[in-house]
Chain A
Amino acid sequence: AQSVAQPEDQVNVAEGNPLTVKCTYSVSGNPYLFWYVQYPNRGLQFLLKYITGDNLVKGSYGFEAEFNKSQTSFHLKKPSALVSDSALYFCAVRDIGPRGNEKLTFGTGTRLTIIP
């Protein structure tokens, strides 16, 4: 089965500094990887995805992620953090169900806090 791991429960970054939220994956075949963000009392919002092609994927709100096949990682990054980036971030991998349907397997999440 496909899986992702987020090794950090909590990440604190000073406003204006670069941020990284880590994700590693374990898949059979080619990975389809995603990042979602969850703000308080709001649903999951899609940030970006990697399917194939360029290893650096650009997404919403200035976020990007780097796919690294040798390290089986898909870390989320942003050059300069904003206080409004404080939220819960989830890495996810596409899995295939018994009838060929797509579904997502999520990591346990990383709470990002940007300190003013």
Chain B
Amino acid sequence: GAGVSQTPSNKVTEKGKYVELRCDPISGHTALYWYRQSLGQGPEFLIYFQGTGAADDSGLPNDRFFAVRPEGSVSTLKIQRTERGDSAVYLCASSPLRSGAFFGQGTRLTVV
């Protein structure tokens, strides 16, 4: 597709469960970012991939959060033992090297 695609668009899960959120970046974009947007807040940086490796994971809140990008394209954000405070919109963005970022529509995660 033409833009960054995120699936699912909405996810409701029970506290304590494991979830995976998927991001398909724009073809050819080497840089991929995950951000989290809580209600009433601006997006907050979580992790950055350059190619397959996580070059900067300084924004991940704790070790329940993990992300992979095994082939340098699609990325998956994984959250273990979800908590109600994890409820937010998770945004993915991709960009060519040293250029502006293009954002997906986000996945709205609700932990009940």
Q: Interface range on chain B: under 10, 10 to 19, 20 to 34, or 35 or more?
A: 20 to 34
Inter-chain contact A90/B42, CB cutoff 8 Å:
yes
Residues of A contacting B55 with CB < 8 Å? 97, 99, 101
Asked whether A46 and B105 contact (CB < 8 A) given A99-B55, A101-B55, the answer is: no
Decide: B58 and A97 in contact? CB cutoff 8 A: yes
A contact residues, total (Cβ < 8 Å): 24
Contacting pair A99 B103 (CB below 8 A): no
- Give the distance to chain A from B106, nearest Cβ to Cβ, in Å: 6
Residues of B contacting A46 in the complex (Cβ-Cβ under 8 angstroms): 100-102
- Interchain CB contact under 8 A, B48 and A108: no
A→B interface (CB under 8 Å): 34, 36, 41-46, 49, 90, 92, 95, 97-99, 101-109
